[in-house]
Structure 1
Amino acid sequence: MTNGTTLVIGGGAIGTSVAYFLAKKGSDVVLLEQNQIASGATGRALGGVRNLFSHPITVELMNRNIEFFSNFSENVSDEFEFHRSGYLFLLRNEEIRSVWEERMDLYQRLGVNAEFITPLEVEERIDCIDVSDFEGALLGKDCGFIDPHLTTQAFANAAKAEGADVKTGTPVEDVLVSNGRVTGVETSIGRFDADNVVNATGAWGNELSSKVGVELPVDFVQHGYLVLDTLGIRDSPLIIDESRDTNFRAEANGETVVSLEKKPLENRVDMPRVRQEDKIRALERVSGLIPDISDLPIKSHWTGVLATTPDGHPIVGETDVDGLYVACGFSGHGLMMSPTVGMAVSDAIVTGSTDVIDFDQLGPDRFDGPERLTPEAKTTSGTQTNE
């Protein structure tokens, strides 16, 4: 730990949050983004915020994030809204329900506001859903969604207001190391010297860290969404049907957003276009849940790449290269986790420790030891979603 100049690489939610909290602590901060703010995975997120996870470390982390987002106008910017519309995990059978029932003790212990509701109660909330073939849902009452672009831009603007230098259109070409310690980076516009470097580049994380021998065990997943015309509802809960590997939500403006099929990718740049058959399959998967959805015209769509880890938990902490920190591998949950990650990394750089995140459990070297972190569990599909 050396609190001097810090270079934060990546202008997504994680990078801008780290930059904001560092600048707020009085650190000399430069954020370098190869394109524009929120132009990577963050800008392709759906914006979900939830604490309905299986592992205590993630639940506690997200409880703090929900509190932070609830007070975002006081903490960061008033150009923001946390739509606390809830999360609904549909229960197709007893097997799925039993998985969630096993988690309820954890949720009650950690103060998660969740309850099981009946199909009739689901229908009362969202009358366009066909409830005939499932037995209810788990409702996360504290959950909801935020705007990915507004949130990330708010962090970036707040970081600049606190004195951070934010440079967009500045790709980082190399990380510089001398005697086992990071000394700066080479960029498209020249060299930047630094005492610390934070790799918050998302799907580019391993590509950057491997330049100095730090390998991050990540895989890549293509995700995406269709934007359809309105169903006549607004600000609905984010509805996740894991047995059909689909989710949807009615936006604040009434548009309906439906997930595309997630596909493993061999590498970050292997990004196939969305084909007509991809759109058809997405609508077929969700039509059993919302019969009228196939009649809605498709207005637009988007795709992105997210990085997943072997245990489903992010990689956050200092690497074997002194002064080089990573905050990558969020499996599609980087936006919702960004406040606590920014707090924790800034604490570690400025003071040498943090009580926000246990770096011993989430650090980049955890995969080498015999005592692995218990994987973040999924109830049925085992897939990742960029919420």
Structure 2
Amino acid sequence: MKIGIPKEIKNNESRVGMTPAGVLELTKLGHDVYIQSIAGDSSGFDDEDYHVAGAKVLPTIDRVYEIADMIVKVKEPIEQEYDLIREDQIIFTYFHFASNQRLTEAMLRSKSICIAYETVENESGALPLLTPMSEVAGRMAIQQGAKYLEKPVKGKGLLLGGVPGVPPGKVLVLGAGTVGIQAAKMAAGLGAQVTVLDVNMDRLRYVNDIMPSHVVTEFSNEYNIRKHIKTSDLIIGGVLITGAKAPKLITRAMLKEMQSGTVIVDVAVDQGGCIETTRPTTHEEPAYIIDEIVHYCVANMPGAVPHTSTIALTNVTLPYVLKLAENGWKKACDEDKSLEKGLNIISGKIVYDPILEAFDWKEAFA
């Protein structure tokens, strides 16, 4: 199979779809890999690294799309790429269709095969291709939240971990999934007081088992959310419903109940965000303020640490890329039910119900 790796062109996206190590595994099996020139530079991998691994380096993104049977990316195609995608071409990447109707309509028109990293799901319900980026984003959420609590960027002027004689900050984590646990771990490591909310008691028990005593858990409901936002210094939104829009747990009206300079980091922004006032931002302009509350809502947080993120992503995507390359998408998905759940759009037809539900398209596309 011919596999194409284009340079990511989304604003401030520095990751690349595959490391040279991943390319070598494909070329050893006789597959042709085509990568756009300088696609890996920001992740610490230059054209020569890919050449040595057996890839053919192409000068433009157009050539990569033109020649490849399968495109392996990091982020969803953006408008400049829509017309480059061909009928029956496999696109394997993060899509997050449920929060992007324009992208969904473009991929339907292209009649391509869209396999979404974020909905590949194993028998236990885990999301193996989303997990490493959620781990990165969860840890980064605390780093960025701590930064935006500083006064020069309109935060409270509070050191999250405190110092002797001064109490540490209070962190509220919404969701005890991968993002929430990694965020709680980082915040706890800094010495912050951490509260984790979730509706899944098994997840809360797990948090209680693995975290130190200054990380506490409570059941997530509106009453408890309202109670904690009044005193929290940093709020992390880490709620995920696989392939669907995130629920709005904090409304705009609730911002009035928070202290001025409170920071919100909504990691769920890719799925529409779990805060009503969330809107996607970029690393170029990452934060904005509404009602004196600082919002950090970068839609590709792991893109700021591309070396770590690209290696972590290739570690988990490569086995699936190999299956697709060796067997084609139909046989690969028939033999691997976790990969089959990644199928979102096939040749102009939506096959993943949460997308239909997100846009109320059940009648039009069923």
TM, length-normalised to structure 1: 0.31
More helix by share: 2
Higher RCO, Cα 8 Å, sep 6+: 1
TM, length-normalised to structure 2: 0.32
